[in-house]
Amino acid sequence: MKNWKLISGYFKRHIFQVFLIILFTGLGVLFQMNVPKIMSNVVNEGIIQNDLSKIYGYGFKMIVISVLALISSFFSVVLISRISSEIAGELRYDLYSKIESFSVKDSLLFGKAYLINSMTVDTAQIRLIINLMLRMFLRIPLTLITGIYMIVSTDESFLFITLSILFLIFIFVYCTGRKTIPLFEKIMSEIDKITAFLRENIKGIAEIKSFNKVSYRDEIFKSKSDELERLILKVNKYMSFLTPGVMLITNYSIIIILYIGFKNTLSGKIQIGNLIALVQYMTFISLSVVLFTLMLILLPRAFVSAGRISKILDYETEIVNNGNTEIQNIENLEFKNVSFSYNEKEKVLSDISFKLNKGETLGVIGHTGSGKSSLIKLIIGLFNNYEGEILVNGKKQEDIDINFFRKLIGYVPQRGFLFSGSVRDNFLMANDDISEEDMKNAVKLSLAEFIYDKEGLDFKIVQDGKNLSGGQKQR
């Protein structure tokens, strides 16, 4: 239920469009469900009575109602397509903003594959289910209610048969859903694992080939792929019974209605035109139920996707910018008995204390894994789950507005990272107000003048600087 609160929250932003969708869908169903009634009048009053004027009159009325139903359905579909795309876009933006607020530890907790699939696969599933939900969840109940009413108004004896059939279908669908939802959760988990494995493979393709481990990695991928295949086949086995089972029940219901209706027609209880209308109403109801079952095939996976997205959006980030102190420069930086751990078991840094004043230099030396990079990440506020105090200008780091603080810090990571876009775009990423002259000076100082042999500051860099050598990337 919590998962659907996520979607309902976005619906509230488009309440007027939802109202129009309900209006046009309702009108379309009402127009459509009146067609069999008119058809029965054509048979009873026109064909049987051999009255051409009634046939023409009711025929014209049927054409007008059919056209109105078509127009209503057209506007409904346009609005549904628009609102589903808008909600998916808003959801994707909110996910992106939330992930941007994550600390390094938060990102590691979820995993890159989980976050990427939530932004792409899961939001696509939500868009699809919203589209189907607005088309089917509104149309199906209206069709069922209107169809049952029309059947009862034609012949009350068919009410029990219709409700019994719908109850059987509900039990059949419910049992199938209980089996498939847990399997869809496992499928999404396996997709995350495969995505993570593929990212690792693509990133380390040079190392894999260098150590001749292509076959080994292929075997690992095959085992993961086989497990995913096994789960999908298991889900499909359950789902394969859904539509045929519902069709079997609905077809038998039509046979029962025809049998009872034919007997009532012979006894004079109902007219032949009413029997035709009853069959058409039952056909509409059965078609709605079949469409509902087709939607239910996607519903469990969408339910899982909504839960995965909710998990990200509801997550309390480790670093919250609650600081309200703005600083214009850094006069001193002080660590007081600072200890830090990634896993809350083994400390990477233990009881670190130092004070660095403006203009002073501090060199940190240590072997691999001694915590040098971790110390730098604590300074720039990428983690806050540390013991002790970090003071900036005598104030606690958490009391300072992190955005103002980071603007005063220059950070060069161990691994050079470049964003896709031009060289100019990468400069602007660090400073929106940087001038053309400052860019050129930075290029000169970093010995990166090779870009002028290409397109200069407008040289396009692909993702992670893959079109540059290792040395060019560092510069």
Name the DSSP class of 408. T
Q: Is 79:24 a contact under the CB 8 Å cutoff?
A: yes
For 269, the token pair is: 């209880």
Q: How many residues does the chain have?
A: 475
Count other C-beta atoms under 10 Å from residue 90's C-beta. Answer: 14
Q: Alpha-carbon distance 200 to 217, whole Å?
A: 11
Neighbours of 62 (CB within 10 A): 18
Q: Is the Cβ–Cβ distance between 325 and 18 less than 8 Å?
A: no
Residues of the chain with pLDDT under 70: 1-6, 154-155, 290, 293-294, 296-297, 318-324, 344, 414, 416, 430, 463-466, 469-470, 474-475
**Residues 317 and 102: beta-carbon distance below 8 Å:** yes
pLDDT at position 343? 72
Measured distance CA(204)–CA(196) in Å, rounded: 12
Q: What is the pLDDT of residue 88?
A: 86
User: Mapping DSSP to helix (H, G, I), strand (E, B) and coil, where does residue 422 land?
Assistant: strand
Long-range contacts of 101-109 (CB under 8 A, 24+ apart): 101/317, 101/319, 102/317, 102/318, 103/317, 103/318, 103/319, 103/382, 103/383, 103/384, 104/377, 104/382, 104/383, 105/318, 105/342, 105/383, 105/385, 106/315, 106/317, 106/318, 106/319
Distance CA 403, CA 400 (A): 9
Residue 242 in tokens: 């859904």
Element (H, E) at 51: none
Instruction: Specify the amino acid at residue 245.
Output: G
pTM of the model: 0.65
Predicted local confidence at residue 174, as pLDDT: 75
Phi first, then psi, for residue 362 (nearest 5°) are -125, 125
Strand pairing partners for 384?
Answer: none
**pLDDT on residue 377:** 81
Give the pLDDT of residue 475: 63
- pLDDT score, position 320: 64
* Cross-strand bridge partners of residue 336: 389
